[in-house]
Amino acid sequence: MFRAALQNVDLFRVILLYFVFLRETGCRSADADSCHEVKTAYMMRQIGPVELVPDKPGTDESLRVCVHPGPTCCTSKMEDSYMAAVRSETQQKMQSYSFELKYLIAGHTKAYQETFESLVSFTSNLTSSLFDSAYSALASDCRPLVFQLFSDIKRHLSGDSDSSLDNTVRQFYNDLFPLVYRRLLNPGIGHTSLQSFSTSTTHDDCLRLTRQDVSPFGPHPRLLVSSLSRALRAGRALSRLLRLAGEVVNATEKATLSRECGRGLVRMQYCSHCRGLTLIRPCTGLCVNIMRGCLVGVAELGAPWGSLVVLLQRLAATLATTSNHNSMELALLAVRNHVNDAILHAQLHGPRITATVEKVCGPQAAGPMFTSVNPNTSHITTSVTPATSLTLERSSVTSPPSADPIAHQRLQLQSRRLFPLKGSRGDKSRSLKKLSREFEGSIQRYQWFFSELPEMLCESEMEVEQHTCWSGQDVAESYAGRVVGSTLKAQRENPEMTIRNTDPVLKGAKQKLEQLTQELLAELGWASKARRRGEEEEGGSAQTDRGSGNDCDDEDGCEASAVYIPPQPG
């Protein structure tokens, strides 16, 4: 019994010493005679002119946020300073937390663009060398055409909204046709005098306008568009998403905190100072409610941002795959072969093309015409004789427009030897794969970044083993209010502040995220797979597919084709 009484006395002493210690270490009421600690904290945090802090506690009926019936160390001007300071502090914290994400996005955006530009530049030079080595008569005039072709491809890869591969390839072959027609199919009219320059220009314009109807290059322009569209769409989609991701992060950093948010932050962070309690920390529940209320627009980005991150991961995986169907490098290297095949097709069908052009555009010049195939070169030389012109024109319209099959076979075999389709395993290929694998792993950590940002900001305000906290009104052992969710609907019930609308800038960012993600899912052919996967997961009836080949697109490289967005945690 004596021991129990002794234990009670010891417990009483511990409690008494605790409260004495609490009062002496800064959690002291402003009923004391001095506001010295408040002034020190005010000065250390550089909140405003230190002259605004009174020397002794008093009363100020003009206080709007930190209202207290007893003596206070705050004035209305101090409240205004606290309001400006706490808004600035919160935005700086948001920027510090988003710095790594911003750096990751900006760094990989630049790295991808540099890699794409390197690939495009290399394949542009490779394609130009085709004309230097095999079609020297076209080389000087075709170099600008090749440069423009690959410049447009680079714009397409960068995500330019105005770029179109159809238009790019069509323009290239439209401009190439007059050169091929005059220099290769009819070399006798390849060089015009100054007097005939105007006529030549008109004739060339006619050739450009009728190129698609004449079809001098056969199926090869269409095959080039198909090859590039399939292989470049992942890179283009990635560029567009990275640009939008950077815009979203910038928007969150520049988002203004409402005045209602500022009042809540002051009540959480600085109203305790008015009571002389400069060291006490806000209760966790209070901080979460206020931060969620302040960042409700940011939290609303959570779900669409998570979808964007999953899509970025999938695109990075596609770029890193070695599947020939998705290989950007191989598709760009193959441009040279597509152009070569198109020119060979025109040479092998020269008589038909010339006859059709003369009917539509009129004859460019009189002259001989005969076609000879040299097995040791990739050229078909053409010249004209008046005696055979009409005969060949008629026969070319009524008979199959093929040259000697053996010569055609030799040309095709030689062109494959000179211009291999298979890409090299050089640094460019490995660097794109390495970059994509690295980005795929790095971006995954930020899937729920905006959903969890309010809690992350509160973690910096909390102390481990904290026995008491600031409830917004007084010292308490814990927060007594209800902690509400982070969605806009849940925030309507926030006990700490009134939530009306989200920031219009963040609302616009959310709409852009949703629109672009859905647009790209449909463009890539992944939307239906994502829906199907989501339905299976929600119904709990997902079964292992028999023969996964049925769900594997050739264009997807047979790698996790579905883009399923998992439910947001919490």
* The total number of residues written for the chain in this structure: 570
For residue 184, give the nearest of 338, 349, 335 by alpha carbon. Answer: 349
pLDDT in tens, 396-411: 333 333 444 444 444 4
End-to-end Cα separation, the chain, in angstroms: 51
- pTM confidence score: 0.75
Check pLDDT > 50 for residue 565: no
- Overall average pLDDT of the 38-65 stretch: 90
- Overall average pLDDT of the 129-138 stretch: 93
- Overall average pLDDT of the 168-187 stretch: 93
Q: How confident is the model at residue 196 (pLDDT cuts 50, 70, 90)?
A: very low
Check pLDDT > 70 for residue 12: no
| Helices marked H in 255-334 | 259-269, 271-274, 284-294, 296-299, 302-320, 328-333
Helix (H, G, I), strand (E, B) or coil at 380: strand
Classify residue 382 by its DSSP letter: E
Check pLDDT > 50 for residue 477: yes
The residue with greater pLDDT, 17 or 308, is 308
Check pLDDT > 90 for residue 417: no
Tokens found for residue 270: 């600085």
CA distance 110 to 246: 12
Using CB atoms within 10 Å of the CB of residue 1, give its burial: 0 to 12 exposed, 13 to 18 middle, 19+ buried. Answer: exposed
Predicted pLDDT at 323: 65
Phi, psi of 380 (to 5 degrees): -120, 115
Q: How confident is the model at residue 432 (pLDDT cuts 50, 70, 90)?
A: confident
Predicted pLDDT at 373: 37
Range with lowest mean pLDDT among 139-143, 265-269, 375-379: 375-379
Q: How confident is the model at residue 422 (pLDDT cuts 50, 70, 90)?
A: very low
Helix (H, G, I), strand (E, B) or coil at 344: helix
For residue 82, give the nearest of 38, 139, 124 by alpha carbon. Answer: 38
Helix (H, G, I), strand (E, B) or coil at 469: strand
CA distance 505 to 491: 19
